[in-house]
Amino acid sequence: MKTFFILIWCLIPTIVFADFRPGRVRAVAQADMMVTQTTGIYDNVKSAKVILFAEDGVGPVKIQLKLGESEFFLPIDKVKNTGCGNFAWPDAFQTEIGYTVSMFSDYSQMICAKYEENEWKISLETRDSEGQISILQAEGKPEYFMLTM
């Protein structure tokens, strides 16, 4: 009996961290987003989907954004945890359309009294070569993936 308990005691750390692999990047959650505001080049966008990717031991590293048929990745430059939501600033990026700045807000784990019905919000601001600014804002509730062992 004593041997059985020693064996269990030795296996507990292996069981608890069986799915943890430092450096691995995987999708951890997704949300079908409701588009709340569009201007300019985003006027025809009716649907959006966000998939959040995290690296084991590091946290969020990139966002996959699907706007209708278009799809692109936004590498996360920095994350600010305020207690009333996490705010991620993906790197600004250049496309054939123009220069885009984005912000991703995650209210799913906030610990303050503020209530946000939609826990994820994303905004894009694109400036084209002529200086015109186009804006897209969307929000939704994330569904977290079951992580396997």
The predicted model scores a pTM of 0.76
Cα–Cα dist 124/121, whole Å: 10
Q: Does 114 fall in a domain?
A: yes
pLDDT digits (tens, 9 = 90+) for 1-42: 666 545 555 555 544 445 677 888 999 999 999 999 999 999
Q: Does 12 fall in a domain?
A: no
119 neighbors 138 (Cβ within 8 angstroms): no
Residue 78: what pLDDT? 79
Residue 65: what pLDDT? 93
pLDDT digits (tens, 9 = 90+) for 124-143: 999 998 999 999 999 999 99
Q: How many domains does the chain have?
A: 1
Q: Does 38 fall in a domain?
A: yes
Residue 16: what pLDDT? 47
Residue 33: what pLDDT? 95
Residue 19 makes CB contacts below 8 A (sequence gap 6+) with 147, 148, 149
Instruction: Say which CATH number the domain at 127 has.
Output: 2.40.128
Q: Does 29 fall in a domain?
A: yes
Q: Does 5 fall in a domain?
A: no
Evaluate if residue 148 carries a pLDDT over 70: no
Q: Does 8 fall in a domain?
A: no
Backbone angles phi, psi at 14, to 5 degrees: -65, -40
Between the two ends of the chain, the Cα-to-Cα distance in Å is 27
Domain hosting residue 72, numbered range: 21-144
Q: Does 1 fall in a domain?
A: no
47: Cα within 13 Å, side-chain hemisphere: 8
Structure tokens at 69: 């048929």
Q: Does 93 fall in a domain?
A: yes
Residue 57: what pLDDT? 84
Residue 29: what pLDDT? 92
